[in-house]
Homo-oligomer: A and B are copies of this chain.
């Protein structure tokens, strides 16, 4: 039996791994040659981790799984009648291939959307892909360099102002990290005091981490403020330019913030593969572009087509777009494919944690609300355990121990080819 899995994130990879002892041939299709440990991407953007520590080549992960192969390329269309996936953008630059399947699993993930304002993207890179994080790292580090070189006070202040859009876990973590980075760099600059940097966290709702229960959003807000982050709640972004971000509060008042660096972590939308699969099957999508799938993760009554992870909404279930959901769905899909049975997916919610900075975090674990050092230690432990691959795990641990002891940041290299204009 031929199984084609599209997408090498948490959901897709766990599907493939779950089939390692099954009597099937699995083909994993991804545009990138690596699996990305997405929950830590923001740490790359601030130089705490380097890309190799949160990304591992798919071929390396699947090296010993002899029933699996990897195809590097972009799945662009599904022919469900002929049971084929069209894969484009092959690495040899020639044409496309059609991969035949008996069972198809699509796990394309999600991305941030700019609320219909794609023109904001160049000035506010998204913090979900590795490319976005590396781009942001260059910008953030160059902003401190520019502040050091700048003689005009107002211009310097704009270089030292960072606006993060969206106060979900990623935005909160990023805001805390930038504040910590600014403080830890203080002694490296001579003309400027980087610890005077302003970090503004813009959020449309009334709370940071609004999805967390009870007092946790308030606690998170207090922890953010103690780090020097200023939350701008009940505020929406109405404009992003190279040198400013415009924000509108609930009363309709607009404020233009002079800021040279903006980070986008809002407006989650499903992968375009959700749309492609909806078009091919007649399934519906929701407002966030997510494909509606049956409780057993099948699509539009086809028992050999599964979709899972951030790009789907499971009928009758309200699930967050987090890694544990995708992982459990991937394992569930693999079990169903191996056994031939079709059973509803049930999410076992072990909790959720969001870190805010060094020794600061909030979360719920098995129903218990936690905050502060304990939550942070738990967050650290869980993320290290889940980082796939022994090599990476030890290296991340080593780097983090150093980072914690020395308050240093190793991965602070500006790779960008610098040109005469900064921007």
Partner-B contacts on A (CB < 8 A): 31-34, 50-52, 55-57, 59-60, 62-64, 69, 71-73, 88-94, 97, 130-131, 134, 141-142, 145-150, 155, 159, 185, 187-191, 391-392, 394-395, 398-399, 402, 406, 408, 410-415, 417-423
Which of B93, B141, B155, B413 lies in contact with A51, CB distance below 8 A?
B413
| B418 and A91 contacting across the interface, CB-CB below 8 Å | yes
CB distance from A236 to the nearest CB of B (A): 30
| B92 and A155 contacting across the interface, CB-CB below 8 Å | yes
| B146 and A33 contacting across the interface, CB-CB below 8 Å | no
Which of B63, B91, B150 lies in contact with A146, CB distance below 8 A?
B91
Chain B contacts for A72, CB-based, 8 A: 145, 148-149
Given contacts A60-B408, A71-B149, A90-B149, 20 further A-B contacts (CB under 8 A): A33-B145, A33-B412, A34-B413, A34-B414, A50-B50, A50-B52, A52-B413, A57-B413, A69-B191, A89-B419, A91-B146, A92-B145, A92-B147, A92-B155, A92-B422, A131-B415, A134-B415, A394-B402, A395-B395, A398-B398
Chain B contacts for A56, CB-based, 8 A: 410
Nearest chain B residue, comparing its CB with the CB of A420: B89
Chain B contacts for A190, CB-based, 8 A: 69
Chain B contacts for A185, CB-based, 8 A: 59
| B59 and A189 contacting across the interface, CB-CB below 8 Å | yes
| B155 and A55 contacting across the interface, CB-CB below 8 Å | no
Chain B contacts for A89, CB-based, 8 A: 418-420
CB distance from A136 to the nearest CB of B (A): 14
A73-B149 contact given A398-B394, A408-B391, CB 8 Å threshold: yes
| A188 and B92 contacting across the interface, CB-CB below 8 Å | no
Which of B91, B131, B410 lies in contact with A417, CB distance below 8 A?
B131
Copy total for this chain: 2
Chain B contacts for A31, CB-based, 8 A: 418
> Which are the 7 A-B pairs with shortest beta-carbon distances?
A93-B422, A92-B146, A91-B145, A59-B188, A69-B190, A91-B146, A50-B52
Query: With A and B bound together, what is the CA distance between A189 and B59 in angstroms?
Result: 7
CB distance from A267 to the nearest CB of B (A): 22
| B406 and A142 contacting across the interface, CB-CB below 8 Å | no
List, sorted by A's number, 5 A–B pairs whose CB atoms are closer than 8 Å. A34-B414, A62-B188, A91-B148, A92-B159, A394-B398
CB distance from A58 to the nearest CB of B (A): 9
| B33 and A413 contacting across the interface, CB-CB below 8 Å | yes
CB distance from A230 to the nearest CB of B (A): 24
| A392 and B410 contacting across the interface, CB-CB below 8 Å | yes
Chain B contacts for A34, CB-based, 8 A: 412-414
Chain B contacts for A146, CB-based, 8 A: 90-93
Query: With A and B bound together, what is the CA distance between A150 and B50 in angstroms?
Result: 32
| B415 and A51 contacting across the interface, CB-CB below 8 Å | yes
Which of B32, B63, B134, B145 lies in contact with A188, CB distance below 8 A?
B63
Nearest chain B residue, comparing its CB with the CB of A156: B92
Chain B contacts for A408, CB-based, 8 A: 60, 391
CB distance from A33 to the nearest CB of B (A): 5
Query: With A and B bound together, what is the CA distance between A33 and B412 in angstroms?
Result: 8
Query: With A and B bound together, what is the CA distance between A404 and B131 in angstroms?
Result: 29
| A33 and B141 contacting across the interface, CB-CB below 8 Å | yes
CB distance from A244 to the nearest CB of B (A): 16
Query: With A and B bound together, what is the CA distance between A413 and B148 in angstroms?
Result: 33
Nearest chain B residue, comparing its CB with the CB of A64: B187
Query: With A and B bound together, what is the CA distance between A91 and B142 in angstroms?
Result: 6
